[in-house]
Structure 1
Amino acid sequence: MTDHLTDPAGSDATAHGFTTRAIHVGQEPDPRTGAVIVPIYQTSTFAQPAVGQHLGYEYARTGNPTRTALQECLASLEGAEAAVCFASGLAAEDAIIRLLAPGDHIVCANDVYGGTWRQLDQVHARFGIESTPVDMTDLDAVAAAFRPTTRYLWAETPSNPLLKVLDLAALAELAHERGAWLVADNTFATPYLQQPVALGADIVVHSTTKYIGGHSDVVGGAVCTDERTATDLAFLQNAVGAVPGPFDNFLTLRGLKTLGVRMDRHTTNATAIAEMLDADPRVAAVHYPGLPSDPGHELARAQMSGAGGMVSFRPVGGAEAATRLCERTELFFLAESLGGVESLIEVPGTMTHASVAGTPLEVPDDLVRLSVGIEDIDDLLADLDAALGAATG
């Protein structure tokens, strides 16, 4: 499935724009039929011409041509040497952590996704991997959290759900000076809005369920990194079996083709909503790096090409008002997840981040998180305005 655009380090790849690569890298027309879309190779095994010889594929857990196409495209878009796709974002994170050994240490952001913290604190800690959450907007605090055994700085930017923006270049320098790697969760920004590898990240992880898939119809994950690390991850994946199915890869690759145009619309809509909320007396606080008043605004302008489609805020009236608000929207569906074409609303403290209650990562109980879709903006604004009136009036 390789084509002339595949090598992210080559002149051909860098000569083409983002959306051109999203549509073409790894996706040459099928040589047998001329099909312009990569086929769904729905097979568990592959015939071999002779004992010990194969045509690039032997068993579908180890590799599949549809998965290969997606991996080549993702690596190109992230500017990485290689990518490995997984059955979910958490499966991808699990494989990254499995590269470590008992006694190793991770410094993570103190507002990472709740599922990430659950995995670090309740799963890998049982096998001797220690983790310390810290405010990664404070570089002195990050440096102070380092130990001789620290192997990863685990950054998520913008963060989930408080949308903190972290200085990836500074974190990469700090990690590398101490012999550690920077792992960057780029799920919220996507490679369209942010390029962690170019800023010094060693490993980039995604829940491709979100913006990359983009249509709330597939679950997946990916790691973009150097060839050697990708080989190690592929070994772990083959040994453990956390592989995405061919149809999942097909759906994710389909979503990737429109990532650029969708992210433009997500960002435009989210900016309008954040500005409305910021000016509304029924709202106590708004978190969105596209707002000039946001603490991460200038850094976001420096390392991102847009602020993205996620907004969080705290309505006047506390947790009860937040709950009432989420139950009164019509176009914003009350649901977990994010990054689809439809708008979603939730209370992280009791939904996506319930697992961090009582920990250093606990989120405010009155925080509302929006995944702003690509609907007509006037309809979304009217929906939120009416729900705010019902919740805080």
Structure 2
Amino acid sequence: MGRVRKHESYTNSILTPIYQNIAYFYDDHETYVKALHEGSLTKGRYGRYHNPNWEEVEGILAQLDKAEDCLLFPSGMSAIYSTLMAFAKSQSCFATTCYLYKNTRRVFENLEKLGFKTLILDNSDLSELMRTLDQVSQDINILFLELPSNPHLYLADIEKIKELLEPDTLLVVDSTFASPYNFQPCLWGADLVIHSCTKYLNGHADVVRGSVAGKKEAIAQIRNFRNINGVIPSPRDVFTLGQHLKTFQLRMESLNASGQKLTEFLNSHDLVSKVYYLGLDSHPHRELSKKYFTNGYGGVVTFELKLSKRETSEFIDNLKIPYIASNFGSAETYIEQLAPFTYYYLSDQDRKSLNITDSLIRLSIGFNDPVDSIIEDLDCSLARYIPTEIH
């Protein structure tokens, strides 16, 4: 005899179990068909469309971003690409800025290859950015901003930008470098906000995930794209992300405090020529950070040394605490010499145009590493390059 159909819809577990299943059943044909035709399905339909783990964590992320709804994706890049393609039409014009993550820049290059029009705007000079947007705003269908930008942590005045855009132009903000603890773009006019949940939100360097949050109508269109293309996250990884979100505020409080303290040390060091951190008055977009950021400025600090390319590499090699690796927002501290490590594929001229110098470094503080120990480590390694008479 075959197994008799049986179902227990819930348990008394405090944690939502991991729902690894694909199929969902209904008690009778009429209930299912009626709900499907009326668009009122309250339970799962199929594993590519619904999952209780997704819905739970998406609800948490929507609250953090002060958004109406949210969708999870396998990575931050899949969230970006799916969002843009969900709204793509013939003759669509996508605009972004020149200072942003290298692979996001490649997405826009691919959009151009597909026949879409793309505009790349300079956001280092905010006045010029506003003038340019005023001239081209009628042509733009989607404006994508990375705020803060990688690695210089540049901002833009999204409240004023939203006023310049046409009512039907979509304003999308990648706020991975801020996290929703520090910055909520939806409160300032953004239609959609994207995160690489891999970074601050997850915080443990063990899960790759992405999210997009915003208005229900826009999220519904992206959901339809996700349903068709199957760009869905693993329930097990989403469960892990949900567990790590329980310590999100504590981790961000620690990283914000450590970032500010480390920045002040670097800013006062004789061998440091420039520091990019939104908590410093010397940052070109400091006034905007005061306007938009609520709790702090994160654990990523970018700085430039008065050293050659070779000396900068030696300085990093002599450090004891940071890993030479690409990531941020986790328990470990990471460090990168950006020109040879991240922007190696660009010509010298292209790197110069993006303000990527040979001695530019991105340091990402780990919340398990005491900031005083990181400062001591940096100070000891820098001391090798201070002339004897200065000691």
TM-score of the superposed pair, with normalisation by structure 2: 0.86
Residue 3 of structure 1: aligned partner: none
What letter is aligned with 2:10?
R
Question: Which shifted more, 144-153 or 198-207?
Answer: 144-153
Answer whether contact 2:137 2:165 (CA < 8 A) is retained: no
C-alpha separation in 2, matches of 1:131 and 1:112: 15
Contact 1:184 1:204 in 2 (8 A): yes
Q: CA deviation at 1:362?
A: 6.5
Verify: 1:369 aligned to 2:362, yes or no: yes
Q: Does the CA contact (< 8 Å) of 1:344 and 1:370 recur in 2? A: yes
Which of 36, 54, 70 is 2:14 aligned to? 36
CA contact (8 A) 1:324 1:391 kept: no
Given candidates 336, 352, 356, the residue that maps to 2:342 is 352
Shift in Å, 1:126:
1.6
What are the ranges of 5 or more consecutive residues in structure 2 without an aligned counterpart? 1-7, 34-40
Deviation of residue 323 (structure 1)? Answer: 2.0
Aligned to 1:104: 92
269, 280, 285: which is aligned to 2:269? Answer: 280
Partner of residue 387 from structure 1, selected from 377, 381, 386: 381
Q: What is the distance in 1 between the residues matched to 2:172 and 2:346?
A: 21
Correspondence 1:331 to 2:321: yes
Superposed, 1:110-129 pairs within 5 Å as 110-121=98-109, 123-129=110-116
Verify: 1:304 aligned to 2:293, yes or no: yes
User: Within 2, Cα distance between the matches of 1:48 and 1:391?
Assistant: 71
Aligned mates of 2:43, 2:328 — CA distance in 1: 36
What is the correspondence of 1:152-163 to structure 2 with a 5 Å cutoff? 152-163=142-153
- Report what 2:37 is aligned to: none
Superposed counterparts of 1:126-165, under 5 Å? 126-136=113-123, 137-145=125-133, 146=136, 148-165=138-155
**1:386 partner letter:** C
SS at match of 2:81: helix
8 Å CA contact 1:114–1:355 kept in 2: the answer is no
TM-score if structure 1 supplies the norm length?
Answer: 0.86
Q: Deviations over 1:168-214 (max 9, x none)?
A: 2122222246x422211111111111110111111101100110011
Indicate the percent of aligned positions where both proteins have the same amino acid: 29
How many Å apart are 1:85 and its aligned residue? 0.5
Residue 308 of structure 2 is matched in structure 1 by 318
Distance of 1:290 and 1:250 partners within structure 2: 33
Corresponding residue of 1:238: 227
8 Å contact kept, 1:322–1:391:
no
Question: Aligned partners of 2:116 and 2:344: how far apart in 1?
Answer: 23
Partner of 1:63: 50
Query: Structure 1 stretches of 5 or more lacking a match?
Result: 1-29
CA distance in 1, matches of 2:213, 2:343: 26
Does 1:87 pair with 2:74?
A: yes
Measure the CA separation in 2 of the matches of 1:206 and 1:280. 33
CA distance in 1, matches of 2:326, 2:54: 26
Tell me how large the CA RMSD over aligned residues is: 2.2
| Residues 1:55 and 1:169: Cα distance change in structure 2 (over 3 Å) | closer
Name the SS for the 1:154 alignment partner: strand
> Are the structure 2 counterparts of residues 257 and 176 from structure 1 closer, same or farther at C-alpha, using a change threshold of 3 Å?
farther
Kindly indicate whether the alpha-carbon contact (under 8 Å) linking 1:79 and 1:197 is maintained by their aligned counterparts in 2. yes
SS in 2 for 1:49: coil
Deviates more, 1:351-360 or 1:376-385: 351-360
